[in-house]
Amino acid sequence: MTGRLLVLQSHGPDAPAWMRRCVASVRDWAEGHGHVWRFEADGLFERLPPSLLAKTAGRGAVRADLARLLWIRDELATGQWDRVAWLDADVAVIAPDRLDLMAPGTHAFGREVWVAEDSGPARPPRVRRHVHNAVCVFGPGDPVLPFLIHVATGLLERATPDRYPPQFIGPKLLSHLHGVAAFPLIESIGMASPPVLRDLAAGGGPAWDALRDAHAEPLAALNLCASLVGRTTDGIPVTEDMVSVVLDRLLDQAQGSESR
């Protein structure tokens, strides 16, 4: 499918250097393929009604889950775009020639393949499949976009402050709805769990292999999961240095493949 694609991204003013490099990789991909790329900082949240801004104070991830939908809606309403895509700021494009976000339908979401280690000795990694909104694409007249805005707004209005999980109007909502709605999924963008990050920092390993094998398409981009940085998950400490090393390896490989 050909047409005009707008790519949207956002992060706060204190984003680490590795995240800014991720954003640069998306910008370079978009502009290099003739798409339009736009970025906003915290101005993204100005689209939320004042009541929800107050209720979600300090919950930037939750705010962004709704604000991205409102931004996409506003851009589609201009009539300029055949598709509008959102990519989280921690997504790195690792194979620019393979990434295609001109979804054939009027909506699509990311396929989340989460790789975890099995507790048993010498057992292969465990793989769980969900749906995420680190990447999402919508087109004009799509019925799912206004439905999601309606549902997410209602959930936030009814939620008790600080008593809801950070992903409850994002990946959790989408994964539940996918069970009955069977959303089209983008298979070319992976999710780097801590075992995958550890493998990539070391140059490869079974978790990285399991992630690639579980996707229906070769990976063109990878979400580096900024929410895990500074935490130890499943016994694996995820640090800024680890993610920077991973990004160095991924982008070096991408540049090497382009030069051949």
| 99 closest CA partner among 219, 18, 212 | 219
Query: What is the C-alpha separation between 247 and 204, in angstroms, rounded?
Result: 13
Residue 94, token pair as written in the block: 């690792």
Compute the average pLDDT of residues 105-109. Answer: 97
The predicted-structure confidence for 154-167, as pLDDT tens digits, reads as follows 999 999 877 888 89
- What pTM was estimated for this model as a whole? 0.94
Distances (CA, A) of 8 to 3, 37, 52, 177, 240: 16, 6, 22, 24, 25
Residue with the bigger pLDDT between 59 and 136: it is: 136
pLDDT at 259 over 70: no
Assigned CATH class of 5-259: alpha beta
The predicted-structure confidence for 62-96, as pLDDT tens digits, reads as follows 999 999 999 999 999 999 999 999 999 999 999 99
- What is the SS3 assignment for 111? strand
Query: Which residues make Cβ contacts (< 8 Å) with residue 115, sequence separation at least 6?
Result: 125, 126, 127, 193, 195, 196, 207, 210, 211, 214
pLDDT at 201 over 70: yes
Sorting pLDDT into bands at 50, 70 and 90, what band is 234? confident
The domain spans of the chain are 5-259
pLDDT at 256 over 70: no
Q: Which pLDDT score is estimated for 164? A: 86
Q: Which pLDDT score is estimated for 116? A: 93
